[in-house]
Amino acid sequence: MFGLELGDAGEGGGAVLRPLEPWRAEEFLAHVDRGREYIGRFVGMPDVNKDLESARGFLQRYADKAAADAGRLYGIWLDGTLVGGVMFRLFDAAAGTCELGCWLEPSAAGRGLVTRACRALIDWAVFERGIHRVAWVVSPENTASINVARRLGMRRDGVLREAYHYRGEWHDDEVWSLLDREWRAARTADAADAR
């Protein structure tokens, strides 16, 4: 129905960001299956989306979060194929905080899709919703995701040691963040550079 053009994604043309809703469960599951091992290295999402019923339930939980203004889920389509997504894993407008998350299947990696999609989400969160702090939580081993945080202008707040148990092991989390004043200054500088 609607989407936000993310621009040219190299070798394959245009990319679009749009809501990822429960009626897309079959498409979502096919996407997860294509990238299951790659995505699952650092993110547990493939482990909870094993079949159509669980995929539909996952998408419905985010639809419910969106209805409650507590989170949102967006897919990234490249030439009409769902290849990844970004989300407000947590969203608390009253507290002025949110947490972004992302994932991609291997065929879409390295094209800047997540960075462009996250810029759109941060713009909306800061300029439309008045969010003060945007967080990014990532495995210290996930270099690609850490590089996205850096490109977005985030700062590393610290490490939560052995913060979660995943696939039989304890893992650390790095927490990165961006404040609204930092985002506004960066976007003003981007606009000045574009002139």
Position 8 scores a pLDDT of: 63
**Can you give the pLDDT at residue 7?**
74
* pLDDT mean over 126-146: 97
CATH of the domain at 165: 3.40.630.30
Say how many Å lie between the first and final Cα of the chain, rounded: 33
Evaluate if residue 10 carries a pLDDT over 80: no
Looking at the structure of the chain, the number of domains it has is 1
Q: Which helix (H) or strand (E) holds 191?
A: helix 180-194
State the average pLDDT for the chain. 93
Among 76, 30, 23, 67, residue whose Cα is nearest residue 49: 30
Amino acid 3: pLDDT: 83
Q: What is the pTM of this model?
A: 0.92
For residue 11, what pLDDT band results from cuts at 50, 70 and 90?
very low
Domain assignment of residue 43, given as a range: 4-194
> pLDDT tens, 90-128?
999 999 999 999 999 999 999 999 999 999 999 999 999
pLDDT beyond 70 at 55: yes
Q: How far is CA 93 from CA 9, 50, 90, 125, 189, in A?
A: 32, 32, 10, 9, 26
Segment 133-145 mean pLDDT: 96
9 — pLDDT class (breaks 50, 70, 90): low
pLDDT digit string (tens) for 21-35? Answer: 999 999 999 999 999
